[in-house]
Amino acid sequence: MAVPVITRSFASEKIRLGDTWKVYLDASAPDGEMQAIVCSLEQPGVGVYPVGITRIPKGARQKLSGYIYLNTAGAQGLNWSQLGLTIQIRDKTGKYSAPASFSLTFDPGSRPEDPPAGAFQECDLGPIMITLTSASGG
């Protein structure tokens, strides 16, 4: 049995706190059985957050192109903080793709980068189900 494959990915490395961080993915599974996007987020001073799982829509289980997103509105005290995100695709038999990893810095003067033109569909695959906290716990 083949495992799901993330064929291409992109995410801006800097955004302003309060912006929505979009993580673009192209992925496929020859057997059409991709079930979930599994996200692990690490933040210095906080540690690793509980895993976030985003279900893959039925029409995208063999091939998907689009983005998942992390809403940072409401997060406080995180300017200049860095996050590490690891994403894997899980299929219905429990097999995982190789991981794709991203880093993010909250930079008050930055503007998010756009993905390469034409590389990904502008399709909302769902939220990253993780809520940020400040390193001080607030």
Query: What is the Cα–Cα distance from 138 to 113, expressed in whole angstroms?
Result: 28
Instruction: Summarize the confidence of residues 107-115 as an average pLDDT.
Output: 93
* pLDDT tens per residue, range 76-105: 888 889 999 999 999 999 999 999 999 999
Q: pLDDT category, 136, cuts 50, 70, 90?
A: low
Pick the CATH number of 5-127 from 2.40.160.60, 2.170.190.11, 3.40.640.10, 2.60.40.10: 2.60.40.10
pLDDT of residue 26: 97
Instruction: Summarize the confidence of residues 116-123 as an average pLDDT.
Output: 94
Query: What is the Cα–Cα distance from 103 to 7, expressed in whole angstroms?
Result: 18
> For the chain, what is the mean pLDDT?
92
Indicate the DSSP class of residue 120. Answer: S
Q: pLDDT category, 135, cuts 50, 70, 90?
A: low
- Dihedral of CA 116/102/80/16: which sign? positive
